[in-house]
Structure 1
């Protein structure tokens, strides 16, 4: 193994500078699960689709994290909800993921009958698994905010395999 002090000056292969474009391409090689994070706010469904959910951040207290773009117009309202539902979307929900992530807020929930807890946590039926959370802490991280969410409860149905985002495409995760 060769250890390099500065990978941009010595490398067995050329190294590309870390620009937003090259980072997006490089990150696309790492499959990530697709989640919907939602709540009912002022009697209306609200949520966002994220491929930046990290599970297993901590078991005590139980935490997951999600990185949300600072340009999000949904997160500033969603973060104030007392409870957030997280739906780990299934391989058969690609079309729904695109709809829920649409810029057209008026159509995001067309034909969707979300489940809402007494605390306002909103989940999407038919997903692979569910978590109910509340905001624990936020950390500024460049052009994103990393939200740590405390897990209040979970439900694991015998649902579909996970939907993943890989190489800039939605794909089903198949277990062999």
Structure 2
């Protein structure tokens, strides 16, 4: 397959891969929250506990997360698909009407999330047209009582539907 053919098929084919949906949040020094939806969240290491996510070099949100040096990965629950859309929108007040509370590291924990993972930024590395942000896990929990939100073929789904 030629490089052009691969590039043309890349998004369509990888859309067949199911991913979880996470909103990465942080607060700046003044306490102003910021956040973005990511579909590229992953566990990296058990010892030490590390997770990571990718953000485009062009992200206007990533600099605020990096400056905060701490973030919360909010794993969304199946019913939070509208929240995922809101945090993916550009130029909007993403926290308008959103219920959240600061975790011990200061990053917003979104109410109703399927799980949350508080992290310290451990590393940032440019890879292709994205940055990999590695987080050292400081605290985490899965409160229970919900199913996760997943993204498949450009649509949000619960595990059962």
Q: Normalising by the residue count of structure 2, what TM-score does the alignment of the two structures yield? A: 0.92
Please give the alpha-carbon distance, in whole angstroms, between the structure 2 residues aligned to 1:80 and 1:115: 20
Alignment of 1:1-176 (within 5 A): 8=1, 17-19=5-7, 21-41=8-28, 42-55=30-43, 57-106=44-93, 108-174=94-160
Please give the alpha-carbon distance, in whole angstroms, between the structure 1 residues aligned to 2:143 and 2:153: 28
Structure 2 spans left out of the alignment, 5+ residues: none
Q: Is the 8 A contact 1:85 1:121 kept in 2?
A: yes
Q: Is the 8 A contact 2:148 2:159 kept in 1?
A: yes
Aligned residues: 160
CA 1:163–1:153: 2 relative to 1, 3 Å: same
Which of 1 and 2 has greater Rg?
1
Q: Normalising by the residue count of structure 1, what TM-score does the alignment of the two structures yield? A: 0.85
Q: Is the 8 A contact 1:39 1:116 kept in 2?
A: no
